[in-house]
Copies of this chain bind each other. A is one copy, B any other.
Amino acid sequence: MKFCSNCGAQVARRVPPGDALPRWVCDACGIVHYENPRMVLGTIPEHEGKVLLCRRAIEPRYGYWTLPAGFMENDETTAQAAVRETAEEAGARIELGPAFSMISVPRANQVHIFYRARLLDLDFKPGEETLEIALVEESGIPWPEIAFRTVATTLRRWFEDRAKGQFGFHAGEINS
């Protein structure tokens, strides 16, 4: 059972006139409540060839390693969200580079976007959602302990592009 955020009445799931998909519709006040995917923004912070990884202090994937990232908020840009999440999760100050990857995860109704970044100093420290932080070389990436496939894919593309000497932009999706 769900309720209308506008008037508090119970809402029903049906296809509104002129629409193609079922929505939560309020018969009391007439509002259609659309649901849309959320964006997760993060960075690949680099220092002398090593990449900053965070070990998660929260579920899902408690104890697994990830890049600093989190949900984009209202009133900010994708770039601001990437910088904010890097500060919140890793206490890290960065110079933001170009957007690097954009990976849809339709199963979770999310799109994960990562920017390249350069650490401005080594004064990082774990935020509330992070157990510990490590700067790791390619050979030290704990692949089986990476928290999310969007992060693993982003890291693989990043090391491939670095080996080529040219960084591109990588759009993709994870469908299982």
Contact = CB atoms under 8 A, between A and B. Distances in A.
Contacts of A145: none
Contacts of A71: 34, 36
A153 interface: no
A84 to B, nearest CB: 9
Contacts of A113: 102
A28 to B, nearest CB: 11
Interface stretch (A1-9, A45-53, A155-163): A1-9
B7 A111 contact: no
B39 A111 contact: yes
A102 B39 CA distance: 13
Nearest to A9: B8
Contacts of A8: 3, 8-10
Interface residues of A, number: 44
A10 B75 CA distance: 24
A74 B3 contact: no
A90 interface: no
Interface string A96-115: 00110010101001010100
Nearest to A75: B106
A57 to B, nearest CB: 12
7 contacts: A3-B3, A3-B8, A5-B5, A8-B8, A39-B111, A75-B106, A99-B102
